[in-house]
Structure formats: structure tokens, C-alpha cells
Structure 1
Amino acid sequence: MALSRTTLILATAALAIAGCAKKRPEVLPPAPVDNTGDTGTGTGPATGAGDGAITPGSNADFQRSVTSNTVLFGLDQYDIDPAARAILDNQAQWLARYPNVRITIEGHCDERGTREYNLALGDRRANAAKNYLAARGVAASRITTISYGSERPAATGSDDAAWAQNRRAVTVVLN
């Protein structure tokens, strides 16, 4: 009787394992597509088959058309200085040509300060840029902000030159 019980348990386990085996689908899904927009030339998404054209209103078009997608800030500051005004005015002009384009403004800090302080300062920097663009006629509903604090440095290093590059707000067009 013990032998038949053991045989029954083993047979049940074998059936359970066989039922769980993955079966190969008859039709495989297509391979993943690289939709990051990088064509290897740094120009962004192409509109044609290998022609290298940039889609109007895309992030690549934005980066090509404006003087900069980044405004820099002083240490522990979030005010828009004259250099930042010129950059943001240029961005506002481009955004006026594409009224349906939405953007995100990313606020960043250098590595000094606590995580909480840097996140709050990055938020103030992103919102300062957002408010400036809104004052220049860009609908605030088209702009979202996010703070990365010191989590995504543009330059590595622990010196004044690296820190200056990391205190920034970056405008990114959402495709």
C-alpha cells in the first residue's frame, strides 16, 4: 500500500511539472525597436528611411533650434539671471511655434548638501524656469517639473567646475 501511495504522489508531481512547462509560441513577437530617437549621429529621430531628417517639434529639433536646453544657477540659488533669461526666451520662441508640444523641466543640484535640501532646491530651480516660460506666454499646463537633486550629475568630479555644470535646469521635449 505504501508503494502505491508513493507511486501516486510521484505521478501527480510529474504531471504538475509537465503542465507548468512553457510552450514556445507559434508566432514570435517582433524584436524590440530602438525608439530612443538616436540615429547614431546625435541628431535624434529620423523621419525618413535613413535620410537623417529631424521631426519638427521633436526633442532633437528643440535641441538643434535653441541656443541651449540648459540654464545654469549659482551656488544655493534659483533666480533667473540675464544669461538664463536669454536661453529661456529662445526656448519660449520655439515653444510658441509648436503649441501642442509638452515639456518637462528637470531641476538639478551639485553634490553638496543633504538629499532633502538638494531635492527642494532642484524643485525651486525647475519651477523658476517654468514660471519664466509661463510669463513669456507658454501655457503652464504644457510644462511639468521634476527635481533630481544631485542624483543625475552632468559632470563628475568634486570641484568648482563640475559643481557649476550640475547646478542647472534642463528642458526636455516630450515626444
Structure 2
Amino acid sequence: MPRQIPGKSPKLPLTGKERAKLRSNKMKLSDIAHMDIELLSGVLGVSDSRAQYIRGMAQFQTVPSIGPKVAERVVQLGYYALEDIKDEDAAALTDRMEASSGFWVDPCVEDAFRCIVYHANHPGSGKSWHDFTEVRKQFREQHGYPPTRPTLSWYDNKDGQP
């Protein structure tokens, strides 16, 4: 996962129409992460839930080293802002994601979740997901994984989706 460059535009699943509306309102992709949901909804001409999804995708990509795939996983877990996730446990998020997807994920995903939770509590931190690898290894060595952890791995998953 590449390190997020400050001010870099997030990769967002916008339609052509949504991109055109951003341009006509002289707004940049990098503005979306901090926009009010109702304002974004109005600018894009979309529902509040669509605006919330888009802003969540943008906001999680403001964390150093977090890209669109990890951001989408966090949003799929029901989090749309850093403020929403600051009191969460990254290991529990990983366990929950694995249980709902039916396969276990690459351990670096848990490192990325740890990075996001850390950044939510320490805004402006320059730490990247790989800074949390040792923490995750120590935690899993001590606590392990749930006995209900799926046996199918992400790379054996036939459709390749999380």
C-alpha cells in the first residue's frame, strides 16, 4: 500500500455525472473528506446515504498509507468517519470483517485497521499501516484468533472480493 501524500486526491467511485457536478461547483476531490454530508449531497445531487459513503471513502484515505480498498472495507463495516471509529478495536474489526466475508484476510489489513484507529485518535500522525505490524503480531501471539475464524483465505476466495 503506497503512503498517502498530503493533499493527494482520494480515489473515489464517482459517476461521470457526479464528477461533472464537482467540477461545475469548482470543488476538488480532496475537499470531499471534510465536507458536510448535506452539502455534499446537494452538490452531487445524490442521497445523503450516497454522500455519506463517498465522504467516508475520502476521509479514510486521508490516513497515511490507506488506499481505496481498505477505505471501502471500513465503510462496509458501517463506519463513515474517523470520529466513528476512534473507540473501536482493530482486532475486533478484523474478526468481524472475516466472519461476514467468510474468509480470512491478509494480516496487513488488520495493520491498516490499527493505523486508522490510531490516526482517528492522533490526527496528523505520520504513522503508516506497516508501523502496526509488530503490535498486531504481539497481540495475535498472545490472544490468537477466534475459534470461528474462517478457514478459507482471501487468496483462495473464488470471486476475489473481500
TM-score higher than 0.5 here? no
More helix by share: 2
Instruction: Provide TM-score, normalisation by structure 2.
Output: 0.28
- Larger % of strand: which? 1
